[in-house]
């Protein structure tokens, strides 16, 4: 398979976006899954269990060699032969050799992502063996000669009509597209394969060191038939699947099916302890059982402190289920073998940096995957780390390198923004830029672009700074570049409200961009320089809080500054700065304790878009709803917490995806009957307001500060 370039990747994304069935199926599944998942987790402590899994998986990774030795010893006592393969090729060769040693010609397989990882089928077929996948979805994609588009539901991208065509071709008989009839066809065709098979190949969800047991979780009976009927069984398992005890495995089982498909338990959980206990085949031959532990880069990844958390993955596939990108383009465009957020990461580590170069760009950074991960992996941060490494390894693209250079130099950055104010005059129309030729902003027609403001907030500040309020809280204002230069009116509205609430405000002029755009682009040095500059800017003011109206700035500062500045010898300064950062809504509700009488409530029908970095990045849920309930008639909307498709530079890089996400988002607010849509982030504002403008401007979009200032009691 060739490595995609950005250009042919765009072509492939557009093709997927044109597949209405794919989009509708993934979207329906996501909506249903989300509701079912909530119900199925209602009786367990979801976050507590996930934290326990993360902790126990980390401990296992620390002792993997001991666990392997223990498993090997215990398994050997029970007649299992244990192998270790350093590479995918070694694992392929081992399986082929076992087939030769035991004179196996026909092989059946139950679903295994590890077997997919090493492209086992290709190797077996090349060795002249007959291989049949027996999981329904896997069999379908095998017949289509393609890889899985989801780790748990490999054929989710196909309609029943497409499956009927595949089965018609495979059986040389016309097949009906009725699903129950299609399942019957599969059952009939596969039964014969089970009976004839010499070797069964499975994966393993866990390998338990204390007993030498391994386990497989499946929803179809094929796993049991594969592991019991043939006279030889070979299991392939990543070394990261080793756990110390049955208890550790059972803990994962409490979360894995709930997270994967919103089931309390999979239909089958098969525990295999020893060849001698396996069912005899009726041929008079003793069952042979082998397990191959695959390394394929895992030992190196364990030593990689920034990324090793990826090895906690239990392969539930949930990081794809709600991912806004996956929901639109499916797994074949969002990963190589492994798909979804973890797919972007594992492609880099298991299938080559070159192959990950383009794929790793296709993440909005919305944190939905992090929020849902069964193993508590901070997937977006690991993806960002990979982007930074790819930039270092292959060099940055011109635009990202340029942005990195400019943002490192605050004065140059601000001068360029001020110059932009004059340069935009020929195309400026009110607050927006008239449609730009594609050469300047390719494919950005899905939203109106904002103009740079006539006067930046930093230039307004001296004339709007409220009088001192002796003894009151001292609050620093972190403007962020979008609101400083494009939307100073958001900040001006916040100043009006805060002045009414009698606090002392400070605006340190040497502050600059928070650094998130360059962090997202993998420009590590620029991200460090901007972080350092901002801490120094606020140092002399010693504020009690530092408020920002940008959820993305707040989340980036709180989540990444400590790590970015770890080697900068700034001592306690970093923590002192990041601890003080607070979003605007939380400042009003939690610190300043605003009351309903602060506002005039004329029951304006208002909806709220949760910025990803507010709800998932900062964990703020109630504050915006409380404020909107005090100042208007808050109308909840479906998926109000899902991403708007902005993602900073993402929307410029992948406008085809960003535009569709935006369109869906606005539709949901319209359906809820809101007349004003409020949000707490200038990036989301730019996306939503630009989209609403393109649609004729009927839906008013405001930042929370503007909405509240408009309803401030006299
Ligand atoms: S951060 Fe969002 S866009 Fe990126 S992989 Fe995770 S869910 Fe998908
Ligand atoms: S990364 Fe997390 S959510 Fe994704 S498959 Fe692995 S465990 Fe599941």
DSSP result, 321-385: HT-HHHHHH-GGGSBSSSBHHHHHHHHHHHS-HHHHHHHTT------HHHHH-TT---HHHHHHH
Torsion-angle region of residue 340: left (phi > 0), alpha (psi -120 to 50) or beta? left
DSSP annotation of 162 reads: H
Residues in the chain: 714
Q: Are 243 and 48 in contact (CB under 8 A)?
A: no
Select from 58, 153, 311, 313 the residue to mutate for testing ligand 2; criterion: most ligand atoms less than 8 Å from CB: 313
Q: Residue 684: which of 636, 655, 647 has the closest Cα? A: 647
Spatial CB neighbours of 435, under 8 Å, sequence gap ≥ 6: 445
Q: What are the distances in angstroms from CA 153 to CA 37, 98, 260?
A: 16, 29, 9
524-538 vs 551-564: helix crossing angle, rounded to 10: 100
| Bridge pairing between strands 288-294 and 80-85 | parallel
Q: Which residue has the tokens 């596969």?
A: 190
Which residue has a Cα nearest atom 8 of ligand 2?
Answer: 316
Domains (range + CATH), the chain: 6-11+310-394 (no CATH), 60-296 (3.40.50.10420), 420-591 (no CATH), 596-710 (3.40.50)
**Residue 366 CA from chain centroid, whole number:** 7
Select from 373, 379, 651 the residue to mutate for testing ligand 1; criterion: most ligand atoms less than 8 Å from CB: 379
Which residue has a Cα nearest atom 7 of ligand 2?
Answer: 313
What DSSP line would sit under 47-78, residue for residue? HHHHHHHHHHHHHHHHTHHHHHHHHHHHHHHT
DSSP annotation of 582 reads: E
The burial of 305, by beta-carbon neighbours within 10 Å (0-12 exposed, 13-18 middle, 19 or more buried), is given as: exposed
Atom of ligand 2 nearest to the CA of 260: 8
Atom of ligand 1 nearest to the CA of 368: 7
Select from 342, 343, 345, 369 the residue to mutate for testing ligand 2; criterion: most ligand atoms less than 8 Å from CB: 342
CB of 255 within 6 A of ligand 2: the answer is no
Ligand nearest to the CA of 643: 1
Which residue has a Cα nearest atom 7 of ligand 1?
Answer: 323
The per-residue pLDDT for 401 is 74
CB of 371 within 6 A of ligand 1: the answer is no
Q: Residue 332: which of 141, 162, 159 has the closest Cα? A: 141
386 Cα–ligand 1 center, Å: 14
Residues of the chain with pLDDT under 50: 277-280
- Say how far apart CA 614 and CA 619 lie, in whole Å: 6
Produce one character per residue of 137-152: b if its CB has 16 or more CB atoms within 10 Å, e if not. bbbbbbbbeebbbbbb
- Say how far apart CA 471 and CA 133 lie, in whole Å: 73
- Say how far apart CA 185 and CA 617 lie, in whole Å: 48
CB of 400 within 6 A of ligand 1: the answer is no
The token pair at 315 is: 């392969």
- Say how far apart CA 612 and CA 632 lie, in whole Å: 23
317 Cα–ligand 2 center, Å: 5
Q: Are 156 and 149 in contact (CB under 8 A)?
A: yes
- Say how far apart CA 157 and CA 302 lie, in whole Å: 33
Ligand nearest to the CA of 387: 1
Spatial CB neighbours of 652, under 8 Å, sequence gap ≥ 6: 441, 444
CB of 647 within 6 A of ligand 1: the answer is no
Atom of ligand 1 nearest to the CA of 344: 5
The burial of 510, by beta-carbon neighbours within 10 Å (0-12 exposed, 13-18 middle, 19 or more buried), is given as: middle
- Say how far apart CA 616 and CA 414 lie, in whole Å: 30
71 Cα–ligand 1 center, Å: 36
- Say how far apart CA 349 and CA 297 lie, in whole Å: 7
CB of 316 within 6 A of ligand 2: the answer is yes
Select from 324, 333, 334, 343 the residue to mutate for testing ligand 1; criterion: most ligand atoms less than 8 Å from CB: 324
């Amino acid at each position: 398979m060739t490595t995609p370039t950005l250009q042919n990747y765009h072509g492939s994304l557009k093709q997927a976006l044109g597949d209405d069935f794919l989009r509708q199926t993934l979207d329906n599944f996501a909506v249903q899954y989300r509701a079912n998942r909530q119900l199925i987790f209602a009786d367990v402590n979801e976050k507590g269990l996930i934290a326990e899994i993360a902790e126990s998986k980390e401990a296992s990774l620390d002792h993997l060699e001991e666990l392997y030795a223990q498993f090997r010893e215990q398994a050997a006592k029970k007649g299992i032969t244990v192998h270790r393969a350093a590479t995918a090729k070694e694992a392929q060769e081992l399986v082929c050799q076992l087939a030769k040693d035991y004179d196996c010609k026909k092989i059946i397989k139950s679903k295994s992502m590890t077997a997919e990882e090493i492209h086992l089928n290709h190797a077996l077929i090349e060795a002249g063996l007959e291989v049949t996948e027996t999981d329904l979805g896997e069999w379908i994609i095998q017949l289509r000669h393609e890889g899985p588009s989801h780790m748990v539901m490999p054929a989710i991208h196909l309609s029943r009509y497409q499956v009927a065509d595949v089965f018609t071709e495979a059986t040389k008989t016309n097949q009906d597209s009725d699903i129950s009839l299609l399942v019957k066809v599969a059952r009939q065709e596969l039964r014969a394969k089970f009976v004839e098979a010499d070797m069964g190949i499975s994966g393993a969800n866990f390998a338990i060191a204390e007993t030498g047991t391994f386990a497989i979780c499946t929803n179809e009976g094929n796993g049991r038939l594969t592991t019991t009927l043939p006279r030889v069984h070979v299991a392939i398992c990543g070394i990261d699947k080793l756990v110390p005890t049955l208890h550790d495995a059972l803990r994962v089982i409490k979360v894995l099916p709930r997270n994967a498909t919103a089931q309390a338990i999979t239909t089958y959980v098969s525990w295999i302890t020893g060849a001698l206990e396996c069912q005899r085949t009726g041929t008079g031959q003793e069952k042979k059982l082998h397990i191959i532990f695959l390394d394929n880069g895992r030992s190196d990844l364990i030593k990689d402190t920034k990324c090793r958390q990826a090895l906690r993955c239990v392969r539930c596939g949930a990081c794809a289920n709600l991912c806004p990108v996956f929901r639109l383009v499916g797994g074949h465009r969002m990963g190589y073998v492994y798909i979804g957020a973890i797919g972007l990461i594992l492609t880099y580590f298991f299938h080559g940096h070159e192959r990950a170069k383009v794929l790793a760009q296709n993440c909005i950074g919305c944190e939905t995957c992090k929020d849902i991960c069964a193993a508590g992996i901070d997937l977006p941060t690991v993806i960002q780390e990979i982007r930074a490494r790819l930039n270092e390894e292959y060099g940055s693209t011109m635009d990202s390198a340029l942005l990195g250079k400019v943002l490192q130099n605050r004065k140059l950055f601000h001068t360029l923004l001020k110059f932009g104010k004059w340069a935009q005059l020929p195309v400026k129309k009110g607050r927006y830029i008239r449609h730009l030729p594609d050469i300047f902003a390719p494919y950005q027609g899905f939203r109106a672009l904002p103009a740079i403001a006539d006067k930046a907030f930093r230039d307004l500040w001296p004339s709007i700074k409220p009088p001192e309020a002796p003894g009151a809280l001292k609050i620093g204002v972190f403007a962020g570049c979008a609101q400083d230069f494009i939307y100073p009116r958001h900040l001006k509205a916040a100043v009006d409200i805060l002045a009414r609430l009698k606090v002392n405000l400070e605006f340190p002029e040497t502050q600059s961009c928070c650094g998130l755009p360059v962090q997202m682009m993998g420009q590590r040095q620029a991200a460090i320089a901007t972080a350092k500059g901002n801490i120094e800017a606020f140092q002399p003011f010693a504020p009690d809080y530092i408020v920002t109206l940008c959820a993305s700035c707040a989340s980036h500062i709180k989540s990444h500054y400590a790590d970015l500045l770890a080697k900068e010898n700034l001592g306690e300064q970093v923590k002192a700065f990041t601890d003080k950062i607070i979003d605007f809504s939380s400042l009003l509700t939690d610190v300043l304790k605003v009351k309903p009488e602060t506002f005039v409530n004329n029951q304006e029908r208002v909806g709220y878009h949760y910025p990803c970095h507010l709800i998932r990045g900062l964990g703020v849920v109630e504050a915006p709803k409380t404020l909107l309930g005090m100042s208007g008639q808050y109308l909840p909307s479906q998926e109000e917490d899902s991403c708007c498709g902005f993602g900073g530079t993402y929307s410029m890089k992948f406008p085809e995806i960003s535009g569709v996400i935006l369109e869906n988002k606005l539709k949901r607010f319209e359906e809820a009957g809101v007349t004003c849509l409020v949000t707490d982030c200038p990036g989301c504002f730019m996306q939503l307001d630009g989209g609403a403008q393109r649609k004729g401007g009927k839906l008013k979009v405001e930042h929370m500060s503007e909405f509240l200032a408009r309803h401030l009691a006299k």
